[in-house]
């Protein structure tokens, strides 16, 4: 990335590069429909900046406020959701079937809706709840494509075609757009096409994990010109993503990405029994719980990554959030903690104006209480069980789900991604949600009897349901 060009030339070359990638993608004729552009637009917006934030760069509209938001954003997101719902209705998606296969997801979303009614800002909470409905809607569009996994691969690649090159362009040639200042230290940071370095790191983590998984799949295909070209594409994007992560200095994203990739790699080893994943996980959790108080693993990792100051700042913020004594059972209401007097109080203490607890589990507790935290935990556990079952039916997709789940769980220890329009929240829905494929082989048909048989089989695995 040491090439230096005039900004205008760099912009033209970036756009030409993106056009080339999309032409290449279209020439390959992936088995996808035009409806895939809806999740693509959704991914671009949540992975970069909102419509208002993009237009405010040119002074066309005023930036949105914390409490009121912006009508333009509301119209754009709502239009995408309505278009998605219409597409699902045209595809005759069964809400009953969706509910049966995703009970914990539906329960969590319903509880989030109910939590609107005890929020001090009910209308704002309702608007935010409508936005997160877009996540399952867009995922359902993916899963009702003729070839869901091919649609997912196409979505991720097309998203990378835009988000990664433009992030590099912004950092190198448009620093007023692609750079900012660290919330904790005040040091200069690289944000790319996103608003903050952590958001850029989050996007790079998702795309980097995808391309690593895609690389392992591509290496298994027969040698050909198409395989060579695909490997060049993957290698190029992995290098660009590594460069962005090094510039963003997002240690949380890098650590979660490496651990998630390690899980994917380990699952590919022959000596790993795919039926004992639950037991392996139980042993790993116990070992960590024993080793952490004895050796301070988390502290050593923070020191090695140069994150001492930020970790200490997060711990202080966590203490202050808990000291506000929110309702421990129900919380303050769906995504309502960072509003009103609580926001003013915390902003008066911190010059960097926090807007999240920097811990996804604490954030859930503050907004939704212990009930919300229980539902989130159940949602995660059920997703883990689904991923383990998938290893026995569709190994490649199963290990993608399991590896990304581990990365998401780790990421939310120092960042809050179980909320709003976070791209990682959207990615979590992708690995958590299930819906029958449009065209399934008879042996792949999913039924309650099949699920019961699988549960009985997995229940015999030591520690699986622990």
pLDDT tens, position by position, 54-84: 887 655 555 555 565 688 888 999 999 999 9
Mean pLDDT of the chain: 86
Residue 449 in this model has a pLDDT that exceeds 50: no
446 falls in which pLDDT band (50, 70, 90)? very low
Question: For 272-334, where are the alpha helices, taking DSSP H only?
Answer: 277-295, 297-304, 308-322
Q: How far apart are the C-alpha atoms of 374 and 433, rounded to whole Å?
A: 18
Which pLDDT belongs to residue 55? Answer: 83
Residue 445 has pLDDT above 50, yes or no: no
pLDDT band, residue 352 (cuts 50/70/90): confident
Looking at the whole model, is its pTM more than 0.85?
yes
Closest CA to 238 of 223, 258, 220: 258
Return the higher-pLDDT residue of 172 and 446. Answer: 172
Mean predicted confidence (pLDDT) in 439-456 = 43
Confidence of residue 245 (pLDDT cuts 50, 70, 90): very high
Chain centre to alpha carbon of residue 231: 25
CB–CB of 334/112 below 8 Å? yes
Query: Taking the CA of residue 407 as centre, how many other CA atoms within 13 Å lie in the half-sphere pointing to its CB?
Result: 34
pLDDT value at position 278?
81
Q: Which residues pair with 181 in a beta bridge?
A: 188
**Helix, strand, or coil here: 49?**
coil
> What residues have CB less than 8 Å from 431, skipping those under 6 apart?
383, 387, 400, 401, 404, 405
Per-residue H/E/C for 389-411 = HHHHHCHHHHHHHHHHHHHHHHH
Closest CA to 237 of 271, 267, 213: 213
Tokens of 274: 């795919």
The answer, yes or no, to whether residue 1 has pLDDT greater than 80, is: no
Give just the sign of the alpha carbon dihedral 188, 194, 196, 200.
Answer: negative
Rounded distance between C-alpha atoms, residue 381 and residue 465, angstroms: 9
Task: Give the model's pLDDT for residue 287.
Answer: 79
- 282 has a pLDDT exceeding 90: no
Per-residue pLDDT of 414-442, as tens digits, reads: 899 999 999 999 999 999 999 987 654 43
């Amino acid at each position: 990335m040491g090439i230096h060009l005039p900004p205008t030339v760099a912009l033209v070359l970036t756009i030409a590069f993106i056009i080339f990638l999309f032409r290449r993608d279209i020439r390959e004729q992936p088995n996808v429909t035009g409806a895939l552009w809806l999740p693509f637009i959704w991914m671009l917006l949540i992975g970069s900046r909102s419509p208002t934030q993009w237009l405010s760069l040119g002074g066309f509209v005023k930036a949105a406020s914390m409490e009121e938001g912006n009508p333009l954003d509301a119209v754009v997101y709502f239009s995408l959701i309505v278009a998605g719902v219409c597409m699902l209705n045209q595809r005759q998606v069964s809400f009953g079937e969706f509910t049966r296969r995703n009970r914990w997801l539906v329960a969590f979303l319903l509880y989030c809706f109910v939590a609107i009614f005890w929020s001090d800002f009910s209308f704002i909470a309702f608007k935010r709840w409508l936005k997160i409905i877009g996540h399952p809607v867009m995922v359902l569009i993916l899963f009702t494509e003729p070839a869901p996994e091919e649609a997912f691969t196409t979505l991720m690649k097309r998203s990378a075609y835009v988000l990664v090159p433009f992030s590099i362009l912004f950092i190198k040639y448009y620093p007023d757009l692609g750079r900012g200042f660290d919330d904790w230290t005040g040091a200069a940071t690289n944000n790319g096409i996103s608003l903050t370095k952590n958001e850029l790191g989050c996007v790079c983590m998702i795309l980097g994990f995808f391309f690593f998984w895609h690389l392992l799949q591509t290496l298994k295909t027969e040698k050909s010109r198409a395989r060579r070209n695909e490997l060049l594409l993957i290698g190029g994007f992995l290098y660009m993503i590594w460069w962005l992560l090094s510039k963003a200095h997002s240690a949380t994203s890098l650590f979660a990405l490496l651990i998630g990739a390690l899980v994917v790699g380990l699952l590919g080893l022959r000596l790993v029994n795919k039926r004992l994943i639950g037991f392996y996980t139980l042993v790993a959790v116990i070992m960590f719980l024993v080793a952490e108080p004895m050796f301070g693993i988390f502290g050593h990792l923070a020191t090695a990554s140069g994150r001492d100051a930020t970790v200490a700042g997060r711990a202080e913020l966590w203490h202050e959030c808990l000291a506000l004594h929110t309702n421990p059972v129900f919380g303050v209401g769906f995504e309502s903690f960072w509003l009103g007097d609580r926001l003013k109080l915390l902003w008066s203490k911190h010059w960097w104006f926090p807007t999240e607890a920097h811990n996804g589990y604490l954030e859930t507790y503050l907004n939704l209480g212990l009930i919300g935290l229980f539902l989130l935990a159940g949602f995660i556990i059920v997703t883990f069980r689904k991923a383990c079952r998938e290893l026995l039916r569709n190994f490649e997709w199963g290990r993608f789900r399991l590896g990304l789940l581990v990365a998401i769980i780790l990421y939310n220890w120092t960042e809050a991604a179980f909320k709003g329009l976070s791209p990682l929240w959207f990615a979590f829905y992708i690995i958590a949600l299930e819906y029958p494929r449009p065209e399934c082989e008879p042996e792949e048909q999913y039924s309650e009897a099949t699920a019961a048989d699988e549960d009985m089989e997995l229940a015999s695995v030591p520690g699986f349901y622990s």
